[in-house]
A and B are shown apart, each in its own frame.
Chain A
Amino acid sequence: VVRWQLSPPQRPLQASAVLRRVSDEHKKEPLASSSQQQFDSHPADHQPGQEPQGPDPSYTGQGSQESEDYESEEQLQHRILTAALEFVPEHGWTAEAIAEGAKALGLSAAAAGMFQSDGSQLILHFLSQCNTKLSELLEQEQKLVQQGEAEKKPIDQFLRDAVEARLRMVIPYLERWPQALSILLMPHNIPSSLSLLSSMIDDILHYAGDQSTDINWYTRRAVLTGIYNTTELVMMQDSSPDFEDTWRFLENRIADAMKMGDTANQVQSTGEAIVQGLMGAAVTIKNLTGLNQRR
């Protein structure tokens, strides 16, 4: 994880009114500080790093002071955003929810000014939290399989379970999720949301055992991304008990994708056969019309 340290702070850290000692921070669950997903396969020890942010027009300074005893500003921002998630069902993914989160931590509501006013940082924080939880889940499952305590799942079952687990994390905020998706689609947010999405898909496929090194690497990820996005949209307007319709939809899409793999091979061999047939027909016609004769 790349961490950028700027000019060392010259002022006494004791002057900080809110930044807590890191020792207090560690007592809390580590999920509060999540970092942007990288493309490596073992998202282990998550140290607070860069936040998934859009381009910042003004000049931000302040380096992090995590080398010292106190938490850095990014850690505090993560804490505020985590606290703000509770207020999302009521206020939506907005600066108001962030302000409520800050108030819940004992800070002034003006601290919400640290974040962008469209609430995108809150959504991105939530997404990266979900992704972290998902990889931990998959890691756990893999350990169980390696230790022989669980059966290795067939690939379609594995994908189905992984996508379902990830989508279930969104359920508590489902009412406000359309708003979140629309904010994420705004041009200045697309780079961050896209990278979070692709790293999540990459994680799933990695734990599924994908070791392809050819064009399949791309096609598989593209297909799974498509499945994930469409299932998410289906879930948002699903009213069946416990979202049964959504999971059935997911099952069908994955089955289609599996079949498509076989079909691709079939099409290829069929294609080859057809091409050979055409070549033969062409040669026969040439013979018949006498064009093949050497004069």
Chain B
Amino acid sequence: MSGLSPAGGRAALCLSLSLSRRRGALRGFAAGPQTHFGFQTVTEEERREKSERGGGGGARSVQPPGLRAGARLGVNQVFESVAKKYDVMNDSMTLGIHRLWKDVLVRKMNPSPGTQLLDVAGGTGDIAFRFINYVRSVRERQLQRRLKHHQNLSWQEIAQSYQEDKSPLGGSQVVVCDINKEMLKVGKEKAQDLGYSEGLSWVLGNAEELPFDDDKFDVYTIAFGIRNVTRIDLALQEAYRVLKPGGRFLCLEFSQVSNPLLSRLYDLYSFQVIPVLGEVIAGDWKSYQYLVESIRRFPPQEELKAMIEDAGFFKVDYQNLNSGIVAIHSGFKL
């Protein structure tokens, strides 16, 4: 494959890549600890850097194409001018099912009005918008129930009810954090188009080093983003730090399929169809090749669960969607 790291021009396609990460800076001419990039080896530094510059970063269900010929493959460069094509690619690759997955995530979260949500790597705002919709409807029902009790009120009670908080969101807030500016821009535009104004903030930040104080958020979500984080353990530790006691960590990510027949079909679809779609729709084969490979490299459900527990979360469990194509991991800071 072209566009490899300068460190050694190696493209290791075997799973010894995972070992290389742990061995640190002793490989060939590498400047820092090696990590994987799809089925290749690059240094951690490069992988992260690519996330911060121009292109994409954090978590996307699809790596947006944007690779120029001869340019280095990097998590971010893939995102450069294609933040706009993200949603289209998501829909075509997953046949629109990604919307259902995100719906399940928010339903599982079951947020109540007043919840503070941090959506990391949530670039185009899918989770954030769903959260706002959900909280709005819960809030409406709450206000309606309160109204029902308002029969035969005394003047004093009526005066009191005017002072009550009747805001449509009940104090809920979403902070969308992403490492990539383009994605945030697309998200902001989408929010404007769809009419979301209240309770949204957009922050540029790195999942491994969040620009927030401790004990700030009720829920931390990362949908299709943790796969692109270079040091997952750091991201998990940061998640633990910014959550309030009792707060919930939710992670939606591609995972390993358990069913062998489905696994074969899935592999076929992933390696044959998706890169082609990438070429046709977004004009980039390589990024989608990277995407599919990174899905295969990602730790399976149990391993990710162990990593989440290591970060300090309790009551960690996971729910497979579509028999393992996607899994939702959940943990609590207790």
Do A and B form a real pair?
yes
Q: Using CB atoms and an 8 Å cutoff, list the residues of chain A in contact with chain B.
A: 9-11, 15-19, 57-62, 73, 76, 95-96, 99, 102, 105-114, 117
30 intermolecular pairs with C-beta atoms under 8 Å apart = A9-B309, A11-B309, A16-B312, A18-B334, A19-B334, A58-B317, A58-B319, A59-B317, A62-B309, A62-B314, A62-B315, A96-B112, A102-B246, A106-B245, A106-B246, A107-B244, A107-B245, A108-B243, A108-B245, A109-B112, A109-B115, A109-B246, A110-B218, A110-B244, A110-B332, A111-B246, A111-B334, A113-B330, A113-B332, A117-B110
Q: Known: A95-B110, A96-B112, A107-B245. Is A17-B333 also a contact (CB below 8 A)?
A: yes
Question: What are the 4 tightest A-B residue pairs by CB atom distance, in nearest-first order?
Answer: A107-B246, A111-B246, A108-B246, A110-B248
Q: Known: A61-B317, A62-B309. Is A109-B334 also a contact (CB below 8 A)?
A: no
For B244, give its contact among A60, A73, A95, A108 (CB under 8 Å).
A108
* Interface 0/1 of B285-312, CB less than 8 Å to A: 0000000000000000100010001101
A16 CB contacts on chain B under 8 angstroms? 312, 314, 334
A-B contact count (CB 8 A): 89
* Contact present for B248 and A111 (CB under 8 Å): yes
Bound CA–CA A97/B153 (angstroms): 25
Does B123 interact with chain A (Cβ within 8 Å)? Answer: no
* Contact present for B245 and A114 (CB under 8 Å): no
Interfacial residues of chain B within 237-255, with CB under 8 A of chain A in the complex? 243-248
Does B200 interact with chain A (Cβ within 8 Å)? Answer: no
Given contacts A61-B305, A61-B316, A107-B246, 5 further A-B contacts (CB under 8 A): A102-B246, A108-B243, A108-B245, A113-B108, A117-B110
B314 CB contacts on chain A under 8 angstroms? 16, 19, 62, 73
* Contact present for B310 and A11 (CB under 8 Å): yes
* Contact present for B317 and A110 (CB under 8 Å): no
Q: Known: A11-B309, A18-B245. Is A110-B115 also a contact (CB below 8 A)?
A: yes
| Min C-beta distance of B212 to chain A, whole Å | 15
Does B318 interact with chain A (Cβ within 8 Å)? Answer: yes
Q: Using CB atoms and an 8 Å cutoff, list the residues of chain B in contact with chain A.
A: 108-112, 114-115, 218-219, 243-248, 301, 305, 309-310, 312, 314-319, 330, 332-334
Bound CA–CA A15/B309 (angstroms): 11
A111 CB contacts on chain B under 8 angstroms? 246-248, 332, 334
For A99, give its contact among B112, B245, B312, B317 (CB under 8 Å).
B112
* Contact present for B315 and A110 (CB under 8 Å): no
A19 CB contacts on chain B under 8 angstroms? 314, 334
A17 CB contacts on chain B under 8 angstroms? 245, 333-334
A58 CB contacts on chain B under 8 angstroms? 317-319
| Min C-beta distance of A22 to chain B, whole Å | 15
**Closest residue on chain A to residue B108 by CB atoms:** A113
**Closest residue on chain A to residue B310 by CB atoms:** A11
A108 CB contacts on chain B under 8 angstroms? 218, 243-248
* Contact present for B246 and A110 (CB under 8 Å): yes
Q: Known: A17-B333, A109-B218. Is A59-B318 also a contact (CB below 8 A)?
A: yes
User: Which of A61, A110, A113 gathers most chain B CB within 10 Å?
Assistant: A110
**Closest residue on chain B to residue A102 by CB atoms:** B246
**Closest residue on chain A to residue B301 by CB atoms:** A59
Bound CA–CA A57/B323 (angstroms): 13
* Contact present for B112 and A114 (CB under 8 Å): no
**Closest residue on chain B to residue A95 by CB atoms:** B110
A105 CB contacts on chain B under 8 angstroms? 246
A99 CB contacts on chain B under 8 angstroms? 112
* Contact present for B247 and A110 (CB under 8 Å): yes
| Min C-beta distance of B248 to chain A, whole Å | 4
User: Which of A10, A19, A62, A105 gathers most chain B CB within 10 Å?
Assistant: A62
B309 CB contacts on chain A under 8 angstroms? 9, 11, 61-62
| Min C-beta distance of B253 to chain A, whole Å | 15
**Closest residue on chain A to residue B312 by CB atoms:** A15
B115 CB contacts on chain A under 8 angstroms? 109-110
User: Which of B112, B114, B115 gathers most chain A CB within 10 Å?
Assistant: B112
Bound CA–CA A230/B305 (angstroms): 47
User: Which of A16, A57, A113 gathers most chain B CB within 10 Å?
Assistant: A113
| Min C-beta distance of B58 to chain A, whole Å | 22
For B315, give its contact among A11, A60, A102 (CB under 8 Å).
A60
Bound CA–CA A106/B219 (angstroms): 15
Bound CA–CA A61/B243 (angstroms): 21
Q: Known: A18-B246, A108-B245, A111-B248. Is A62-B316 also a contact (CB below 8 A)?
A: yes
A95 CB contacts on chain B under 8 angstroms? 110
B305 CB contacts on chain A under 8 angstroms? 59, 61
* Contact present for B317 and A11 (CB under 8 Å): no
| Min C-beta distance of B316 to chain A, whole Å | 6
A15 CB contacts on chain B under 8 angstroms? 312
Bound CA–CA A117/B315 (angstroms): 16
* Contact present for B319 and A57 (CB under 8 Å): yes
* Contact present for B315 and A109 (CB under 8 Å): no
Bound CA–CA A57/B109 (angstroms): 16
* Contact present for A114 and B218 (CB under 8 Å): no
Q: Known: A18-B246, A106-B245, A111-B246. Is A60-B334 also a contact (CB below 8 A)?
A: no
| Min C-beta distance of A110 to chain B, whole Å | 4
B110 CB contacts on chain A under 8 angstroms? 95, 112-113, 117
B317 CB contacts on chain A under 8 angstroms? 58-61
Bound CA–CA A105/B319 (angstroms): 28
Bound CA–CA A123/B287 (angstroms): 51
B114 CB contacts on chain A under 8 angstroms? 109
Bound CA–CA A114/B219 (angstroms): 13
